[in-house]
């Protein structure tokens, strides 16, 4: 039996808020670029390219990432004092734990395990989105590549009118 990668500190951290971020106002160009990339090599639908002629704001595709680092955030803060990314690492597999100020399992590989979302009101050009994320449950099981650690992040997005845009859960697999 392989030793568990889930520490006492990780178990104690389940459910706590990781942090919150607020976007800059979503721009039409953010929406256009997103649609071009996700419909490629097809052209995106006209509604994601041209603003509506009636003056109403352009509506983003449901999965549009308003918090993408590409467009930067207006503000972003972690709830706890985070542990800095180890020097020399392009991508830190322990980011989840480091964001809440605890040590992670130190595994080297990380994959997106799955996603689940419930959508509320659509994101429109001009919206300012706030994301509040928290740490979900941990579990483990043996896989083809050894003992796999499953963790999740729960995220709620609201717009400037406090309307819920989406509630999502993202699962992470590390090995």
Partner 1 sequence: MTLSPAPEVGAELDPLVHDTGFDTWNRYAAVNYEFVPIHMDDEAGRAAGMPGAFGMGNLQWSYLHVLLRTWLRDEGRIRSLRCDFRVPNTKGVVTARGTITDVSEADGTTLVTLDVWTENADGKKMAPGSAVVEIS
* Residue 63 lies near partner 1 (rule: CB under 8 A): yes
Q: How far is the CB of 66 from partner 1 (least distance, A)?
A: 11
The single residue among 54, 118, 161, 162 that binds partner 1, judged by CB under 8 A, is: 118
DSSP state string for 77-130: EESS-PPPPPTT-SS-TTHHHHHTTS-----S-EEEEEEEEEE-SPPBTT---E
Which residue lies nearer to partner 1 by CB, 16 or 111?
111
Site for partner 1 in 3-42 (CB under 8 A): 33-34, 36-41
**Which DSSP symbol is given to 46?**
G
Question: From residue 142 to residue 171, what is the string marking binding to partner 1 with x (rule CB under 8 A)?
Answer: ---x-------------------------x
Q: How far is the CB of 168 from partner 1 (least distance, A)?
A: 10
The single residue among 27, 56, 77, 116 that binds partner 1, judged by CB under 8 A, is: 116
Q: For residue 104, how many other CB atoms are within 10 A of its CB?
A: 22
CA distance 56 to 58: 7
Residues 6 or more apart from 175 whose CB is under 8 A from it?
Answer: 107, 109, 111, 143, 145, 146, 147, 148, 149
* Chain contacts with partner 1 (rule: CB under 8 A): 33-34, 36-41, 45, 47, 61-63, 65, 68-70, 90-91, 109, 111-119, 122, 145, 171
């Amino acid at each position: 039996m392989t030793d568990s990668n889930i520490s006492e500190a990780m178990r104690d951290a389940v459910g706590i808020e990781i942090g919150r971020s607020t976007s800059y106002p979503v721009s039409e160009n953010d929406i256009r670029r997103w649609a071009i990339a996700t419909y490629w090599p097809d052209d995106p639908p006209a509604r994601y390219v041209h603003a509506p002629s009636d003056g109403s704001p352009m509506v983003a595709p449901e999965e549009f990432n308003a918090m993408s680092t590409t467009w930067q955030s207006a503000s972003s803060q972690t709830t706890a004092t985070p542990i800095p990314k180890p020097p020399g690492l392009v991508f830190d597999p322990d980011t989840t734990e480091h964001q809440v100020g605890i040590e992670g399992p130190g595994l080297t590989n990380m994959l997106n395990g799955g996603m689940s979302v419930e959508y509320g009101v659509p994101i429109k050009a001009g919206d300012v989105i706030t994301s509040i994320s928290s740490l979900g449950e941990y579990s483990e099981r043996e896989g083809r590549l050894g003992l796999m650690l499953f963790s999740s992040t729960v995220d709620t997005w609201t717009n400037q009118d406090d309307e819920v845009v989406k509630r999502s859960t993202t699962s992470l697999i590390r090995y």
